[in-house]
Each structure stands twice: as structure tokens, then as C-alpha cells.
Structure 1
């Protein structure tokens, strides 16, 4: 368009003026930063860490507050964690239908909790709590639970969550890249205008979390470890979950004071990585956070230096889980350069392959297992070693063996090549993780919380590469002294445990017919949509055949020198459950040319790993690492598989490890529940029970196990490769390295595991002594796979049981405070021979079991019809699918998944294309036909004495299963 001269001058002036008015934001960068981080600081002190990664149109966001249980007031420990929960309850703008009417009631609840804390008499406390409950019911008339979750669902966010630790409280969302503005709008309001509502029902969820933690021996062990090394510092004197007494006497006033003290802009960092535009993103964040006024410096409590120990600080904890040892040393703050050396030492001692512990303790089976961790924290850092004894071995002997290897480190009794190998593998894993936005954003959180200059972070590998053997030895001698802490975790009955009893809580209304104007604006926002991209199996990969006749599925990696090579053999435990035991035995063997230790060392020096795993219907051999070393690694693996030498002593020790592991599993709550669930779904012949007996393994010739491994290349298998090599080069390498027969062996016969039909109501009960129960309701009427049902199943799951905005979570946790964790899912088959099935899941206190069953059955038989909730579920699913991307090796895996179902299309596309025409009536119809009034199995893991057995018997006949029944041994 041609403009008159005068108009042109005016247009130019307007452009210049607009440019001058546009705000620019200064930022810091570091040269040679592999993630191109930009670090901004707004005028109010708010930090913003940004990294651009365009692989997927999504962004990982963390909002990190530099405060945690370290700063909890001594009289109300657990406060930082409880505040984290309350941050999901709304603000002055959302979560309420009438703030003016609600606020006096909230003020009254706050005041009454302050009085409640002073009452000691149990009867008086109970009576007074009824007043709190009554007023809470009045306030709940205005409360609109889950509006935050609804807004996050509306924008297609995934992984809505938060966590609290010693030094940090962090809020997580993974959002589509076109939803930054709406996300920032919600978060800006949330952090500036938080309102504490729904207090007593959320307190019940915290009680549940406390009871779960109380049953965890790992939590008790770690708490005891920190207490020994930090006897007068909050790291050691107060846990993140808080004490029982403080949880029973909460203070809304203290929480508010804490919020206003620490939730200030100059104490917070917004950390984001993904498909973002730097300038637009920081401008958007400034739009919603820039006017937030801070109050100057944060007065953080300071503590005297912790004592320097010269002798071991031993302690013992008791619990029913397997015996273990935790020992470790305290180091300086997490932002010191000690971390460079400790990261190297950590990998020198244990790296899963060729560390000192790996070769001396695990490979030689001197102990059951060992793991190491370096944990940098704000005030101090900790180096931890976790170890488990063999059968009959004392924990003190385990400690002795560990200290012997620490002495080797201090004496320099290790090959200098180990340091170089550590660095090669460290770099490999580092660059592998850079693909993941959560890794990048989490690195930002760590830098902010521990006050690590980003330049220091970027240059970490360069500094580590300069560390020499003499540096390692000097460091070890200086810091790995006798002044360590050691926790002996022994088996027994912990008589000190007492669960937090539930107060009576009247369910609050969900008020699903109400919504705030703020929510309406978020839901109706129309950002430029993201166009979906699904896998096209004809374009995104190449399906071919190697020169030796093996099917190969190929995709080229054009980004780096990393590869994954996988051989998929179509039979597994249903045909021969010994394959996994043969693979485990192989780990301890060498060949005529190399010892087992030398093989481990060579793989590690090549920066490559191998895995042989067995599923019920598939055995997989996988090799990963640096593609430049793939030929050597494949030759090494093939030589081991073909030429491993049996070792009778190693086999005897290996069997001992297996039997100890089996015994330990019986003491673990999650493992007990997994076994019970498998029994309920499949019956006594199930994947977790049908394992070789001890007698069978003892009578098995170890050579026959090696022959089993040696026979695997004789079967027709599919090769999957993702890496920089060409298809022809990969095919040639396999043909030259792996011996392929002229005629493939017939596949061995299989006895499939079949999910049972639930043709009658029954209760399956297995014992486990814990303050909570695990429970599922299982239903299966053998509905076969149907590609046409995929869309309705996906939408039903989103609406009914998946996530915090779903019906199940709203009703069982938000409205009634019945559980810490609750969900439900309708499963579609992963292969044609499978059937559809449905399961609920809940973890709750034993005395809430019947309440949970009653409410779950009400939801199953009369699924609520909530149009607004349906629209949000549909919108969330559409946005999640549109912004999802399948990349790299996952493309090949999706292809294999489709083949198992007999289809040649990405199932996500089927769901996405069908969503626009689907209605709430379709979901309700699906629920009525597929989950309502069905014959369920009630599957419960818990202590019978704590359960309402009479009420259970009214539901269905009870079958009591022993621990031996569900484990099969």
C-alpha cells in the first residue's frame, strides 16, 4: 500500500514511539550454555529462568519458593507442607462464589482453630471441633472446590502437583506452549491473593499423608540419619511432614504469617523450559507478576554450625520392612565446589556397572545390594550410602565392607582410567537428560534454591574434567573421616507408632453448579490453537529387513551420537520364566577371555549399557550409549551371550541373592499389594506368583540357563534402532556380529496369563500391618479390543477418574477428605488376546474403608452428570493430544504397540479425531453400560483387626489370603 508522504512520516513516528514504549528486560546468559538459559530479575526481585527447547509444543513450569520445613516455626512443624496443599484452594478471585459473605466465616474458623489448639481435654476438643465443622459447612456454601484444577485442565496442563522439602516448596505444571498467558494469569493471582479455605477437609488429606509416611521405614531411616548429622538444625530436628501433635493442633494464623513472610517475589523463581519465546514469555510473566510488591529482605532463621564429629554417630530404627543400613557424611553448603568432587566420587563408588562398590561388593555378591547418593541442600550437603545385607549377614559387617572400599578410595587403590570413564558416562547421561524439559527446569530450581550461580552450573563438567586422581585421594582423606552417621534399620514391631486419628468431618458440597468469573474467563480464552502431530508409520520410520532376514524398524537420530538398539523376541515368561533368571546370572559371569569384572569395566569405558529383560510375552535385549562405540559394545555383548562360562560358586551365591530378595519383598507394603492385585486379576496362575520355586532353581543346571541365553538369536525377532548410523550400516553390523540361523527356531509354546471374569461379588483380603489400607475394586466381563471404543474410554477416564479435576478425586478427597490418593481407570487391551477391564484405587485409613466403599459405589452406580466438568475434561484431552509429540525411540515403540493390536495407525489420532462430536450423554451411557451395577471384586490389603469385618461380610463373602498365598512361596 502506498502512503502519502505526510502519512508515511506519521506512521514512522508511531512505529518509533511504540518501539520506545515497549519494555525491554535485561537478562544474564553464560557462554557455551548447552540449554541457552536466560535469567531475568524483575524490579520486585522475582527471578525468571528460561530455556528454549522446541522438540514439543509444551513447557515444563516450576514455581520455586526458597522455603521449606527448615523454616517451619518450632511450635507448628509441617506448616510449609500444609501451606503447599492450601495453595490449591483458591484466591480472592476464584474458588468462591461470594467472598464478601465467605470471609467472616473463614475468619471465625481461623479464630476457632487458635482456641482449639489450647484445649487439652479430649471430650472438650471433640465438642469444640464440631463447632469448627459446623461453621465450615456454612463457609462451604460459598466454596467452589477444584477451580484451580479446573483451570489447569482447561488449558491442557498435565502433572499438576507440588512438593515440599527442607529448603523448597515448588509448584509444577506442564502446559501447552500457547497457554503461557492464561497460566501466568492464574499463577499470578494464586501467589498474590491466596485465601485459606476448605481447611479441615484438606487437613484430613495431610493426616493420610502422615500415616503413609509413618509406615515407611525409608522415611524413618532418613529422618534418623539427618538427626544424627544435624542435631541442632531443622534438617535434623523437624521433618517436612511435621509432628503428630502439631498436625492435630494446626494454626491458620501461623500459616498466613508464614505465607506473607516467605511467599514474596524476591524469594521466588519461575523456572520454565520448552517451546517458548524468551521475550514474549518474560513480558507475559511481568504482566501478571511485575506489580507484586515485596517487603524487602527475608529474615530467614539462622542456626549455629553443627558439631564436627570424630567418631561414628550410630543409631537404630525399627520397622517391619527388610533390614538395611544407611550411612553417610555431612558436607558444606550445596553451592560449594565440593559438589564437583563428590559427583565424581559418587560415580566412582557406585555407577551400576564398574564402580568400586559394583565390582567389589555387588559383582562378588558380598552384600545383597548397595546404592549411593549425593544430596546438595542449602545449608549442608550429604553423601549417603544405602546397603542391604545378605541372608544371615549382620549390618555391622555390611558397614565394615563399605568402609573397606572407602579406604581403597583414600589410598588411591583404583585405576585412574575409572575417573575418565566416570566423566564419559557423566557427560553421556547429562546430554541424554537435556532432551527433557523437566530436567532443565529442575536444574534451575536447584540453582535458585541453593543459590548456585548459573555460570558455576554451566562450567561444572569442565571443572570436573580437571580433577585428578591425587585430588580425589586428598579429598577422600580429608572428608571421609570417622565422623559419619550410621543408621541400622532392623526388623521388628515399632511400638512408638500411633496414627493420627480422624476427626468427624461432615462432607462439604462440591458446588459444581457454581463457578467464578475468573474461571469462566480462563475456560473461554481462545489462544491460537496448536495443530496436532501424530506418528505416521509410513513416513516417520522405516520398516525393512536385515540381510539375514530379521525385521528391522529404523529411525535416524540427527541430533547427537546416542543410540538405542533393541532386539524384541516374541515370547517371555508365559513360555519360559527362567529367561529373567538366566539374564540375572549372566551379570556375574565372564568368558574364557575376560572376567566378569573386566566385561563390566569395558562396557563402562565404552559408555554403553546392556539390558536383557523378560515380560510375560516378550524378551528384550537392549544396548544403549555412544553410537561411535556401538560396534565394540555389540561385539562385547554378543561374545558374553555366546561364550559365558558357568561358575558354580557364583550360581550358589546368586540363588542366595534371589531368595533373600524374595523374603524382603514380603515385608514391603507396595510389593504385597502388587501381588494381591495380580492374584485378584488373574487368579493363582498369575505373572507375579508363577515363578520357579527355590527347589527348581537349585536343581537347575546353570549351564542350561546359559544355553537359554545362547539360544535367543535362533528365534525370529524384530530389531529396533534409533541412532545416527544408516539403515544399511546397522543391518550390516548386525549381520556381521550376531549369528543368525538359516532357519529360525519355532516359538516355544506358551501358557497365557488370563484376566479372570468377575462373575460374582467377592472380597479378597490379605494381611499387612500398617495404619492405612490399599484397596481396589476390579471388574472384567471380557470385552475384547475394539478400536472404535478408544475415544469414549479416553474421555470417560479424563472425566471420571484421572487427575484432580475428575469426579473421583473431587468427591472422595476434596468433598469428604477420605483419602490421600484416589482414582479409577477403564483399561483397554495392549494386545489382541487381552480384554478390557476396570479398576478403582484408593489408599485410606483403615477406619475409613467402609466410607470409601460406600462413596465409590455411589459414584460407580450413579456417575454424576456435570456438563461443566465434561466440557473441561474434553477440552483438556483435546489440548493434551494436540500438544503431545512422539519422538526419537518412542516412535518405534508406538509402532510396535500398534502392531500388537493389529492396527497401523497412531491410536492418539483416533481419539483426537472423534472428540469434537462426543457429548456428556455418551460418557454417562458408557458408565451405565460398563461400570454401573457390576459384580466387583473388592481387593484389600490391611490388618484385619483394624477393619470393619462385619460390614465387609455384608458386601460379599470374604476370602482371606495369606502372604504365602499371594506370593506363591
Structure 2
């Protein structure tokens, strides 16, 4: 599991005072070290660092253990060892032989990730003493008692290899790995965390065990507990579990390799099958603890933001590229600034490269402006605040700061960010964004090479001397997520013009609030032939409106601390909102102004068209997209142009090219309105001003055309096997599908849901995952799903797996045998009870997420229901037993009617 790129009060004063009173009664062997903004650091006698961040605003808790070991610590011939060990840490211990089942039975949402400087394991779960105790016991146990056995290594080997193959399918990711390898000639940051295939395949189990015993020790780890829990009780439990682990006698030597300043341009050319092109570059930068690190964060935004970034304006708006991106790798040791542009296949790449480099390396002639820095700082601060205001995300995000030298870097970086000036950003840009510090292509000798500042280590402790963080902090209420309480706390309102509204007001951390607005329009007949036009209208809605440009709209949302996303299709539009209490009415007002007055600028129309065409081109050789298209085209029974028809890639491209601006304007005028829709608001807000903003913004905006849900009645299809070959792809895709004549309120629907959960939708201990991933190691991702239709009895069961093409026969055999066993012998009562508990915990966890709850309320209103329907579903799950579940599975699932799809490179056997 590989890290992807990417990247507060009176109640709290009382909590701090309580914690201070507890300091004198800490468990024996536990010492308090420091406190910053609601987080208290403790140290155990064995060296374990403990961070407690209590927060009662959500009924969840998160346990996160971070080990200061990643690919940076791997030796020659051991690349990928840290990541491989991450996989094996889920294989059990003598006391916890089946960690997967334990995680599932406690309703936990777990994962593990490996990165250059650290590996972490976390689980979020409904807050309870039982769940927390189990998580702490399990994590303490596997810290030093994991099996790390040969038999588990053998089966997991192919899973990791399959994960490698999945990454090999994306040329952009592969190119990034190649560039990093060229940029770092000595440092291990140049080696992908997933490792070299030869190293992983030939790993010595004794060496892997030695690696585990060396680094998985309390003095090399940090335990974070965040969310709802009792501090005193939790500290005692930590001392009784982790505190019993002996301090190791070995000494961990610090790494010391640093690359010298780069002495010339480097270039990598990657040649593989694909349908889009990429221009990418990295420039060596500074370590995360450096005072210049926040300037690099701002610089990445200035260059890579969409739509205000310089690369977007010079490449996307001019039609040279379809999309751009930038990311600053803030690592424990000097990282890089990564830049990327995606280019259509028919574009001249040399022209794009030249414009790309000119934009990046001519900042001296075109200095960074105050407006650019202010915008970037606002975006970054909003992201930091969003993370801090969510205890689950915050508890996990601390892993990065821990790995970078000190957990308090999370707060120090935020404070430093507020002080970054245009001069700071200009200085680092001029110093580092120079040709000799760039890895893009071939090395070219230079008579007078320009050198960037030599990399230097930064003492994080010295940087943090005297630092105490901000005293501002605000907590939320302890909210009961039961359907009964949700129904009780929700105001259900119908506006005069027909819009349905659900308002659930509650105190939240940081006064955050989530909202979801859905509008519906048209009928199957009136929307005939207008699918792509409708997609364009929805996609362009916030790219120009009411006299504002796309950038100005984005800046206004940023000023309101609002994250707003518009999405939709020909049948409807959805607006997802996250902001803070005081800004919700203004945010709703801005959203309604956009909805009522879009301008559909020509430049944005062209950008959307080019990006849409690029997506189609990329799908042509993407096994997952190909498999989905092949599957759904098999079920075509409507004419082309009907919304229920699945187009070929050629037809989609043709339809996109045929869309005109006039069609977009006419579609909006004909179909858009607020007569049919729902708005759900969950979080900290006052209902009265929200309703006033709605009445002002959406009142008297009626749909001109009738609306009816586009329905598709059930039709039985014969089973069939479909295959499509795609060359030069290391990973293949398997899909299975069967239409089912059942609706979501059918008496057997929840029994079928529970059966599918145990079969393949639960965590890695489901029947499918246990056999195909855990036992045989054939797939990194395998499972099943059940899509219950909320309008008509026309649902679907599906299954999926990714795998190496040469393992197809083994995959098919294993899948068929699992299905046959489940339908023949049935699921056991023990499996049903464990699945029932896990499914209910999962639902509670979902309702604890305000954004997810808003979506559920939205859907309930669309279906003319309320939260009592959720209670009914839960009751049906709890009433189910092995007899009713197996009866439902046998009634609806028929392998003879499965439509199976295989897409991959099946032309040759591969190692």
C-alpha cells in the first residue's frame, strides 16, 4: 500500500486544566513531555512516544502507530522491504492470529502506508472502550510479535507484485519514478518505496525478520490516539500494553547520505504504449523542517494550481496541455518540487516542453506577486484547518510531521506559512528553479554551470525551541449517530417552489458545516441525444458566472473558507459544500448566484472539451475503463442517444466534438431550475439565515420542462464471457456482473446485503479476499458489491479483481470455487454474526462523517423517505440469520448468468 502524491474554546481550556490535574497521577513509567493545541506528548520508559488528542465532537476514535522506517532506511538489495513488511504486519501474531477478522468484527476502517521516511498503521472506529482496548492490544502485540513467516511471505509476494503491476499501468506514475531515480544518484529517495521487482521477489526471510526486529521497537515509534476517549483510562491501557515491551538494546544509527548539488540538466525518456503524453520535472528542494519549506509549498501552488496557477494559464488555457499539477515533497531530508503536464497524443511535445520550462524557470523576469502568494496561503491554510478540524484525519496526518523530525512541525509549518512573503518565494524560486538543478531530460554539459545551494540538514528541535503553538481551539458536541437521533434532530422542510430541505444543526469541531444540494431535470425523451451537452453544462457551471471569472469564483470561495464542488450530468447537478458556520449563508448565496447566472466562457468551454477528449483517449488503453465499457455495452438495449445507452469510446469522442456553446446555453435555459431537488445541511449552522439565503437565491426558479426519473426496468440477460486484449499492460482486470430483480426496500434486500458483505465487501477477511488475496496471493484488490436500486426492482451484483494476466486461469478457478461453496454450502452462522456486527459498525462510522450523512439525507429526500428508513434497514440486518442470508443468496445469485469480463495483455506469458 503505497503513499499517493498528494498531501481548532472554552471547553478545551477546561480539558487542558483537567489534563494538568492528571499529570501528578500518571501511570508509573509514563512521563508528560509537552503540549500544543490540544495534543499532549507522553514518553514511556521504553522510549515509546505517545500523542493523545482527545476530541468528543465525533463518536469515533483513531489509533495510529508510526514507525520511523521507510524506504530511506533500506540497504542494497533490500528495496521494497519496508513496504513488504507493511503487508505482512496484517498476517497476525500468536495472540492475534487473524487480525483481519478482528478489524472487521470491531467495525474498523484500517490501513497501512509506507513512504520514504516512515511506515504507519491506523484504524478508525466507532468510539468505545472495547474497540479502543482491542486496537491498543493488537498494535502493541504486532509491534514485536508479528509472525513475519515464510508461508505468509510466499502468498503475499504475488499480491505486492500485483500492486507493482497496477502502478506500471499508469505512464505518468512510471515516468515520475524514473525521474526521481535520475534526480537522486545516491540518496534512497531516488528508489521507489515499492522497491525493485528483483529485490522483492528474492527477499531473504531472515533479513526481513531482522529488519522487522531492528526497526519495529517502541523507541522508534509514535502512538497517536485521536478522537473520543477517556485520557486517564487510555494512558493506563497504553502503559499496560505498550509499556510492557522491553526497551531494545540495539542502537539505530542515523542515515547520512546526501546528494551533492546537481551539476547539470538531466532528462529521462520513457517509451510505452499509451494515449496521452506527459511532461514532468523535479527540482531539488529543502527538508520539511527548513524555514524555507513553507515557501516551497506556496511555490507549488503558484505554479500548479488549477485554474489560477502559472502552468494552467500558459499550458491549459492555450490548449497545449489538458491538465497540470505540482507537489512539493516535504520530507525529513531534502526533497523535491515535482511538476507535471498531461498532453494529448496529437500535440507536439517539444512545444509543450519549451513552454513548460519557460513558465517555471523565468520567474526572475516575471516575479511572484502578492496576489499569488495570498491565494496560495489561503488554499494551504484552509487545507491545514480542514485536516486539524477532523480528529480522524488529524490523527493520521501527524505521521508525516513525525517522520519529518517532530510532530509539532504540523503546527510550526502552519505558523510559518502565514509569514511567507513574495520575496521569500521569489528567493527560493531563483535559487532552485534553475536548469542545472532540474531533472527532465538528457544531461547537457555547461561551461559555467549554475549551482543551487548545497543540501543541509535541519535540526527540528532547534527550530522548535520556545515554540508553544496557538491557544485557539474549539471542540464539537458528542453526537449520537443513531437513525432515531438523526430523525429527531433533523428539520424536514419543503420550500414553496418544491425544493426539499433537511437541516441537522449540531456543534462541530472548528464550527464546520457540510451541505449537499441536488437538482434534477428532464425526462428520458426530452434528454434524448443531450448526454454530452448536459455534461458540459454541469462541468462549466462554476467556471464563470454573474460577472465573475473562474479564478474570481475560486478566490471568493477561498475567502469564505469554503470547499465547493459542482458535478453532474444531463439529468441533474450536485453541489457539495464544506465551510464554517459564519460563512454558510454567504457561501449558499454565492452558489445560488452561480447557479442562476452562469456565463459558459468560450475559453473554459474549449478547455473542458480538450480535457474530456483526453480522458476518452486515456481510457482507450486503460484496462479498468475498457473492462467497464465492454461490460456495460453488453447490456445495451436502448438506441444511441438514450441516456441509458453506453457509447463506445469513438462515439463518446464524436459526441464531445459535436457540442457547441449555443447548445450549452439552450440546455441550461430549457432544463435548469430548482423545482425538483434536495438540500441537506449537517454541522454547525443557524437554520434561519440558511433558509433565507435559499429563498433569496433559488426562489421562483422553476423548471421550464417536466421532470421524471429515468428508469430502466429489469431484463434478464444470458451469461457470457467477454475478453479484450490491450498491449503492454502488466495488470489485468476481471469483472463479473448479474442484474437482479430486487429493490432496496424488498424484505430480502438487507439479508442479501449482509450476504454480499461477508462474500466480498468486507475487509480482507471476506470469502473472496481470503481465498484470492490472502491464501493464493493472486490479487491486490478483489471483492464484490451489491448495487440496490431505489426506484425499481432492477439491481445488480458484481465482483472484481486485478491480477497478472498469466494468473487468469488460477483467478477464475478460485473465484468460481468460492461462489460455488457459498451457494452450495452456505455462509456459517459465525460468519453471519461477525459480518452483521462489522456492517453495523461500518454504517455508524459512515454516519459519523458529516459529508456522508448529508449525502444520506439527500438521498432519503429524493426517495421520499426519512431517517426511519435507515432504522428499518438496520433492524432488518440485525434480524437476519444464516438461514435468511443463504436463502437470499441462493435465490438471486446464479453463476450461469454472470457476465464476466477479462481485459489485459494475454498475448504472452510474463514472469
Band of TM-score, shorter chain: 0.7 to 0.9
| Structure index of larger Rg | 1
| Cα pair distance change 1:83/1:432, threshold 3 Å | closer
CA–CA distance in 2 between the matches of 1:654 and 1:267? 49
Match of 1:896 in 2: 858
Shift of residue 705, structure 1, vs aligned partner: 0.9
Shift of residue 354, structure 1, vs aligned partner: 2.7
Contact 2:734 2:903 in 1 (8 A): yes
Question: 1:794-943 to 2 correspondence within 5 Å?
Answer: 794-801=753-760, 802-829=762-789, 831-833=790-792, 835-863=794-822, 864=825, 865-881=827-843, 885-886=847-848, 888-943=850-905
What are the superposed Cα offsets for residues 599-646 of structure 1, whole Å, 9 maximum, x if unpaired?
A: 554554454455432247432245554565566666665555555556
Work out which of the residue numbers 939, 942, 945 in structure 1 matches 2:907: 945
Shift of residue 445, structure 1, vs aligned partner: 1.0
Contact 1:312 1:482 in 2 (8 A): yes
1:247 and 2:226 are equivalent in the alignment: no
| Cα pair distance change 1:551/1:479, threshold 3 Å | same
Q: Could you tell me the TM-score, scaled by structure 2's length?
A: 0.83
Work out which of the residue numbers 144, 147, 163 in structure 2 matches 1:195: 147
Match of 2:236 in 1: 283
Contact 1:573 1:615 in 2 (8 A): no
Contact 1:573 1:579 in 2 (8 A): no
Number of residue pairs matched by the alignment: 829
Match of 1:761 in 2: 719
| Cα pair distance change 1:215/1:695, threshold 3 Å | closer
Work out which of the residue numbers 685, 689, 706 in structure 1 matches 2:647: 689
Contact 2:367 2:426 in 1 (8 A): no
CA–CA distance in 2 between the matches of 1:768 and 1:755? 32
What are the superposed Cα offsets for residues 184-240 of structure 1, whole Å, 9 maximum, x if unpaired?
A: 22222222222233232222322322333333323321211211221112221x333
Question: 1:120-199 to 2 correspondence within 5 Å?
Answer: 147-159=98-110, 161-177=111-127, 178=129, 179-197=131-149, 198=151, 199=153
Shift of residue 894, structure 1, vs aligned partner: 1.5
Contact 1:778 1:839 in 2 (8 A): yes
CA–CA distance in 1 between the matches of 2:273 and 2:347? 18
| Cα pair distance change 1:805/1:633, threshold 3 Å | closer
CA–CA distance in 2 between the matches of 1:157 and 1:588? 39
CA–CA distance in 2 between the matches of 1:763 and 1:643? 49
Match of 1:26 in 2: 31
CA–CA distance in 2 between the matches of 1:908 and 1:926? 20
Question: 1:712-727 to 2 correspondence within 5 Å?
Answer: 713-720=672-679, 722=681, 726-727=686-687
Q: Could you tell me the TM-score, scaled by structure 1's length?
A: 0.78
CA–CA distance in 1 between the matches of 2:599 and 2:47? 64
1:263 and 2:216 are equivalent in the alignment: yes
Shift of residue 784, structure 1, vs aligned partner: 3.1
Match of 1:381 in 2: 335
Question: What SS does the corresponding residue of 1:539 show, helix, strand or coil?
Answer: helix
CA–CA distance in 2 between the matches of 1:941 and 1:323? 23
Contact 1:556 1:724 in 2 (8 A): yes
Work out which of the residue numbers 55, 76, 80 in structure 1 matches 2:78: 76
Choose 480-489 or 796-805, whichever is displaced more: 480-489
Match of 1:665 in 2: 619
What are the superposed Cα offsets for residues 509-566 of structure 1, whole Å, 9 maximum, x if unpaired?
A: xxxxxxxxxxxxxxxxxxxxx9872255642222224455543333336445655555
Contact 2:70 2:119 in 1 (8 A): yes
Contact 1:681 1:756 in 2 (8 A): no
CA–CA distance in 2 between the matches of 1:431 and 1:788? 44
Match of 1:308 in 2: 261
Contact 1:354 1:601 in 2 (8 A): no
CA–CA distance in 1 between the matches of 2:278 and 2:792? 42
| Cα pair distance change 1:565/1:707, threshold 3 Å | farther
What are the superposed Cα offsets for residues 807-856 of structure 1, whole Å, 9 maximum, x if unpaired?
A: 11112222223322221233322x21352221121112223222222222
What are the superposed Cα offsets for residues 474-529 of structure 1, whole Å, 9 maximum, x if unpaired?
A: 2221222223444479xxxxxxxxxxxxxxxxxxxxxxxxxxxxxxxxxxxxxxxx
Match of 1:120 in 2: none
Work out which of the residue numbers 375, 383, 386 in structure 2 matches 1:429: 383
1:533 and 2:482 are equivalent in the alignment: yes
1:584 and 2:530 are equivalent in the alignment: no
Match of 1:469 in 2: 422
| Cα pair distance change 1:246/1:176, threshold 3 Å | same
1:299 and 2:252 are equivalent in the alignment: yes
What are the superposed Cα offsets for residues 669-700 of structure 1, whole Å, 9 maximum, x if unpaired?
A: 33223323433455686565289755555554
| Cα pair distance change 1:352/1:597, threshold 3 Å | closer
Shift of residue 43, structure 1, vs aligned partner: 0.7
Contact 2:522 2:671 in 1 (8 A): no
Question: What SS does the corresponding residue of 1:163 show, helix, strand or coil?
Answer: strand
Shift of residue 252, structure 1, vs aligned partner: 0.9
CA–CA distance in 1 between the matches of 2:896 and 2:830? 27
| Cα pair distance change 1:893/1:76, threshold 3 Å | closer
State the superposition RMSD in angstroms: 3.4
1:56 and 2:58 are equivalent in the alignment: yes
CA–CA distance in 2 between the matches of 1:435 and 1:380? 29
Shift of residue 310, structure 1, vs aligned partner: 4.4
CA–CA distance in 2 between the matches of 1:872 and 1:838? 22
Question: What SS does the corresponding residue of 1:290 show, helix, strand or coil?
Answer: helix
| Cα pair distance change 1:569/1:49, threshold 3 Å | same
Runs of 4+ in 1 over 6 A off after TM superposition: none
Choose 349-358 or 66-75, whichever is displaced more: 349-358
Contact 1:188 1:289 in 2 (8 A): yes
Contact 2:303 2:310 in 1 (8 A): yes
Contact 1:326 1:385 in 2 (8 A): yes
Contact 2:523 2:707 in 1 (8 A): no
Question: What SS does the corresponding residue of 2:289 show, helix, strand or coil?
Answer: coil
Match of 2:518 in 1: 568
Contact 1:365 1:654 in 2 (8 A): no
Choose 875-884 or 471-480, whichever is displaced more: 875-884
Contact 2:41 2:52 in 1 (8 A): yes
Contact 1:56 1:884 in 2 (8 A): no
Question: What SS does the corresponding residue of 2:61 show, helix, strand or coil?
Answer: strand
Match of 1:792 in 2: 751
Contact 1:572 1:619 in 2 (8 A): no
Contact 1:71 1:301 in 2 (8 A): no
Shift of residue 254, structure 1, vs aligned partner: 0.6
CA–CA distance in 1 between the matches of 2:146 and 2:550? 59
What are the superposed Cα offsets for residues 26-74 of structure 1, whole Å, 9 maximum, x if unpaired?
A: 324445x2xx111111111111122112233322222221112222231
What are the superposed Cα offsets for residues 572-613 of structure 1, whole Å, 9 maximum, x if unpaired?
A: 79534212212434565577x555555554554454455432
Contact 2:756 2:784 in 1 (8 A): yes
CA–CA distance in 1 between the matches of 2:854 and 2:26? 50
| Cα pair distance change 1:75/1:407, threshold 3 Å | closer
CA–CA distance in 2 between the matches of 1:20 and 1:641? 58
Question: What SS does the corresponding residue of 1:250 show, helix, strand or coil?
Answer: coil
Structure 2 unpaired stretches of 5+? 1-23, 443-478
1:556 and 2:541 are equivalent in the alignment: no
